[in-house]
């Protein structure tokens, strides 16, 4: 009998029941499971999906797959087949002219750039925006008389990779080194400073002070604000701009902007047309990925593994929102889909002996090495081998680089990370928090994804920065990867615990800090994430070696992680299903 979620649900229940309550730490001493990692039936060398039982899979992030299924059954009818290219071109030209006209007026220009970025349109105006911002980065701080202009200027310059020193905020401080009380009357300025403060790096105390000052004041003055302003401020307090995923923010902001009395109708129309156009592109990519996935047929053979191309694609749009990265999104989605299958082999299906065989075969990276593997592993091995070779071929064809050694090394590193987790599990070893998180960055696929994207994006690649793509991976990758791992644990650890997975960062943190309540433990993890963001922001300040495109992608990975795993607290979208609908299925009117 094939293992399915429904016929194995009793199994999860019995394991969960045999486990002490999650509020106690004693479950860290887990029961041994003989030589198997999980509840597996005796395996033979020809073990296949139908002869072994696996633990149930993680609950899908996307619960309503109906929209996807409906969409896939239809012939590809794009919702925006009307030829709007002339209209779009006109609007683009008009907007470009307006940007040029505004270039001399700092506040107008900055506000316009901010709106353009927020509407998801900045990729059309990269050169125009950069030349305006370069102009600002050369002006002395004295020209930014008011808080709104100075804060907006700081945020936009840093966000776009320009050098800017937070000392520009000194002039808003009194002799005691505190922000002046009089600033509190300027709510828009305070809001702008609040947003700017989230781009602060370690050591930039003035920005930490700014965050404390603005956050407290904005929270306190919410009740006295006009409804439209209070809505804006609440949304900012819920999630600062710097942490938002670009396409979701565009979707949300199109509605907000349209409701503003003084909106620019050209910009709004352009934003809607563009959103829908990019959505059509995403639909085509999704079709391509699902077609590839079906043809690969990996989960037809490995029925225990996750079959979630849509979830994989959601990640890719988070990491690479710009249309020009269409091909990269498709390749990245393939790697994540395979990652999920390998994760399921390690977490829910394979025996320790099989996992060791698999790890060693991967280290050899040779089709002959596959011969000793059980059948279900062989097919996965070859899927990974072929897909990686195809990606290498693509990079070779487009850029002339031979990248197999890097891609191979990063897969080996990830799979060795899975093996470490399996060994910990099997020997009842409880790692310390640092050991766990460092390994967890590998097993969340962070390094794997960023190394692939470094080459697939292919911008700013030099002989020097290529040398950084080996272990230990760059700080940029590990800071962003740590954010991904910690958000993943915040989002999935409860369920993984019930299934009997390894202790997660939350439990390990509670244990190390001797914290009894899980709520406190979660708060502690959120504080670690805050500090990681400061580390990550430092990559924009001291950027020297890594290309800006990959820095932006690493930031996007951190943003996407929060979006995917903290959806219930998003008052606008409230679930991953709603994200997916807004991103891929419902056009913007």
Ligand X SMILES: CC(C)=CCC/C(C)=C/COP(=O)(O)OP(=O)(O)O
Interacting residues with ligand X (CB under 6 A):
58, 315, 336, 343, 347, 443-446, 449, 488, 492, 557
Interface stretch with Mg ion, choices 46-54, 482-490, 511-519, 531-539 (CB under 5 A): 482-490
Which residue is at the shortest CB distance from Mg ion?
492
d(CA 365, CA 370) in angstroms, rounded, equals: 9
Binds 267: which of Mg ion, ligand X, none (CB < 5-8 Å by kind): none
Judged by beta carbon, residue 347 or residue 577, the one nearer ligand X is 347
Judged by beta carbon, residue 388 or residue 443, the one nearer ligand X is 443
Contact 109, 132 (CB under 8 A): yes
Judged by beta carbon, residue 271 or residue 557, the one nearer ligand X is 557
533 Ramachandran zone, left/alpha/beta (phi>0; psi -120 to 50): alpha
Residue 437 CB, nearest approach to ligand X (Å): 12
Judged by beta carbon, residue 201 or residue 456, the one nearer ligand X is 456
Q: Is the peptide bond before 207 cis (omega within 30 degrees of 0)?
A: no
Judged by beta carbon, residue 256 or residue 413, the one nearer ligand X is 413
Residue 481 CB, nearest approach to Mg ion (Å): 14
SS3 104: coil
| Residue 147 main-chain phi, psi, to 5 deg | -65, -40
Judged by beta carbon, residue 148 or residue 444, the one nearer Mg ion is 444
Contact 480, 465 (CB under 8 A): no
Using alpha carbons, select from 395, 389, 406 the residue that is nearest to residue 327.
395
Using alpha carbons, select from 73, 167, 183 the residue that is nearest to residue 541.
167
Angle between helices 106-118 and 126-138 (to 10 degrees): 140
Judged by beta carbon, residue 448 or residue 546, the one nearer ligand X is 448
Binds 56: which of ligand X, Mg ion, none (CB < 5-8 Å by kind): none
Judged by beta carbon, residue 449 or residue 506, the one nearer ligand X is 449
Beta strand segments in 35-163, E: none
Binds 443: which of Mg ion, ligand X, none (CB < 5-8 Å by kind): ligand X
d(CA 272, CA 15) in angstroms, rounded, equals: 50
Binds 52: which of Mg ion, ligand X, none (CB < 5-8 Å by kind): none
Judged by beta carbon, residue 388 or residue 492, the one nearer Mg ion is 492
The footprint of Mg ion on this chain (CB under 5 A) covers a number of residues equal to: 2
- Which residue carries 């962070």 as its tokens? 446
Interface stretch with Mg ion, choices 13-21, 341-349, 483-491, 542-550 (CB under 5 A): 483-491
* Residue 492 found at the interface with Mg ion (CB under 5 A): yes
Residue 318 CB, nearest approach to ligand X (Å): 8
Binds 343: which of Mg ion, ligand X, none (CB < 5-8 Å by kind): ligand X
Binds 154: which of ligand X, Mg ion, none (CB < 5-8 Å by kind): none
Which residue is at the shortest CB distance from ligand X?
445
Q: What residues are paired with 351 via a beta bridge?
A: 36
Which long-range CB contacts under 8 A does 386-390 form with residues at least 24 apart? Answer: 387/334, 387/335, 387/338
Residue 368 CB, nearest approach to ligand X (Å): 29
Residue 299 CB, nearest approach to ligand X (Å): 15
Which residue in the set 488, 539, 570, 577 belongs to the binding site for Mg ion (CB under 5 A)?
488
Residue 20 CB, nearest approach to ligand X (Å): 21
DSSP codes of every residue in 156-184:
HHHHTT----GGGGGGGB-TTSSB-GGGG
- Which residue carries 């306190």 as its tokens? 220
Using alpha carbons, select from 186, 102, 112, 117 the residue that is nearest to residue 148.
186
Residue 576 CB, nearest approach to ligand X (Å): 13
Binds 449: which of ligand X, Mg ion, none (CB < 5-8 Å by kind): ligand X
SS3 581: helix
Contact 554, 241 (CB under 8 A): no
Interface stretch with Mg ion, choices 83-91, 157-165, 490-498, 559-567 (CB under 5 A): 490-498
Binds 445: which of ligand X, Mg ion, none (CB < 5-8 Å by kind): ligand X
Residue 558 CB, nearest approach to ligand X (Å): 10
Encoding tokens for residue 546? 């890594």
Judged by beta carbon, residue 296 or residue 444, the one nearer Mg ion is 444
Binds 317: which of ligand X, Mg ion, none (CB < 5-8 Å by kind): none
Binds 348: which of ligand X, Mg ion, none (CB < 5-8 Å by kind): none
Judged by beta carbon, residue 263 or residue 408, the one nearer ligand X is 408
Judged by beta carbon, residue 315 or residue 573, the one nearer ligand X is 315
Using alpha carbons, select from 450, 466, 484, 421 the residue that is nearest to residue 552.
450
Residue 319 CB, nearest approach to ligand X (Å): 6
Residue 434 CB, nearest approach to ligand X (Å): 17
Query: Cα-atom radius of gyration of the chain, to the nearest Å?
Result: 25
Q: Which of residues 234-253 bind Mg ion (CB under 5 A)?
A: none
Encoding tokens for residue 247? 């396409």
Work out the number of other CB atoms within 10 angstroms of the CB of residue 359.
18
Contact 334, 292 (CB under 8 A): yes
Contact 541, 549 (CB under 8 A): no
Residue 472 CB, nearest approach to ligand X (Å): 18
44 Ramachandran zone, left/alpha/beta (phi>0; psi -120 to 50): beta
Residue 375 CB, nearest approach to Mg ion (Å): 27
| Residue 36 main-chain phi, psi, to 5 deg | -95, 155
Return residues touching Mg ion (CB under 5 A). Answer: 488, 492
């Amino acid at each position: 009998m094939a293992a399915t979620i429904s016929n194995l649900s009793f199994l999860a229940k019995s394991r969960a029941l045999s486990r002490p309550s999650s509020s106690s730490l004693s479950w860290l001493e887990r029961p041994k499971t003989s030589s198997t990692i999980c509840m597996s039936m005796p395996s033979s060398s020809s073990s296949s999906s139908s002869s072994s039982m696996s633990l149930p899979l993680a609950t899908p992030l996307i619960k309503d797959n109906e929209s996807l299924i409906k969409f896939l059954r239809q012939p590809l009818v794009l919702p925006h087949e009307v030829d709007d290219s002339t209209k779009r071109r006109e609007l683009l030209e008009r907007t470009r002219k307006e940007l040029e006209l505004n270039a001399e007026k700092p506040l107008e220009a900055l506000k316009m750039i901010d709106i353009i970025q927020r509407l998801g349109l900045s990729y059309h105006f990269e050169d125009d925006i950069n030349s305006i911002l370069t102009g600002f980065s050369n002006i002395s701080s004295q020209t930014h008389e008011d808080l709104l202009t100075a804060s907006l200027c700081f945020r936009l310059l840093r966000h776009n990779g320009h050098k800017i020193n937070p000392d520009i905020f000194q002039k808003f401080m009194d002799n005691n080194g505190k922000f002046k009380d009089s600033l509190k009357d300027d709510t828009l300025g305070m809001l702008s400073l609040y947003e700017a403060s989230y781009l602060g790096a370690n050591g930039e105390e003035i920005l930490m002070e700014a965050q404390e000052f603005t956050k407290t004041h904005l929270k306190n003055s919410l009740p006295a604000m006009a409804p439209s302003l209070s809505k804006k401020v609440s949304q900012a307090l819920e999630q600062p701009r710097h942490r938002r995923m670009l396409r979701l923010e565009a979707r949300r902001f199109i509605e907000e902007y349209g409701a503003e009395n003084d909106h620019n109708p050209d910009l709004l129309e352009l934003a809607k047309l563009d959103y829908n156009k990019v959505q059509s592109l995403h639909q085509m990519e999704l079709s391509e990925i699902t077609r590839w996935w079906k043809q690969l047929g990996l989960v037809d053979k490995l029925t225990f593994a996750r079959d979630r191309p849509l979830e994989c694609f959601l990640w890719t749009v988070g990491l690479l929102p710009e249309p020009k990265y269409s091909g990269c999104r498709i390749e990245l989605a393939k790697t994540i889909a395979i990652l999920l299958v390998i994760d399921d082999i390690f977490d829910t299906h394979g025996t320790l002996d099989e996992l060791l065989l698999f790890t060693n075969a991967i280290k050899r990276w040779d089709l002959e090495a596959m011969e000793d593997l059980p059948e279900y592993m062989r097919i996965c091995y070859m899927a990974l081998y072929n897909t990686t070779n195809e990606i290498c071929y693509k990079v070779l064809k487009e850029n002339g680089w031979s990248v197999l050694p890097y891609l191979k090394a990063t897969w080996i590193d990830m799979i060795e990370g899975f093996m470490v987790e399996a060994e910990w599990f099997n020997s009842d070893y409880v790692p310390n928090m640092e050991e766990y998180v460092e390994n967890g960055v590998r097993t969340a696929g962070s390094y794997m994804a960023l190394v692939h994207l470094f080459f697939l994006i292919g911008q700013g690649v030099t002989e020097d920065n290529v040398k950084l793509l080996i272990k230990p991976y760059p700080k940029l990758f590990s800071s962003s990867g740590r954010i991904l791992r910690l958000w993943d644990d915040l989002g999935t650890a409860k369920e993984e615990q019930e299934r009997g997975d390894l202790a997660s960062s939350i439990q390990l943190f509670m244990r190390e800090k001797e914290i009894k309540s899980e709520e406190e433990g979660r708060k502690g993890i959120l504080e670690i994430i805050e500090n990681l963001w400061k580390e990550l922001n430092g990559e924009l300040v001291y950027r020297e070696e890594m290309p800006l495109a990959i820095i932006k992608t690493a930031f996007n990975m951190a943003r996407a992680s929060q979006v995917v795993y903290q959806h219930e607290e998003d008052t606008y979208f409230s679930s991953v299903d709603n994200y997916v609908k807004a991103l891929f299925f419902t056009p913007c009117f």
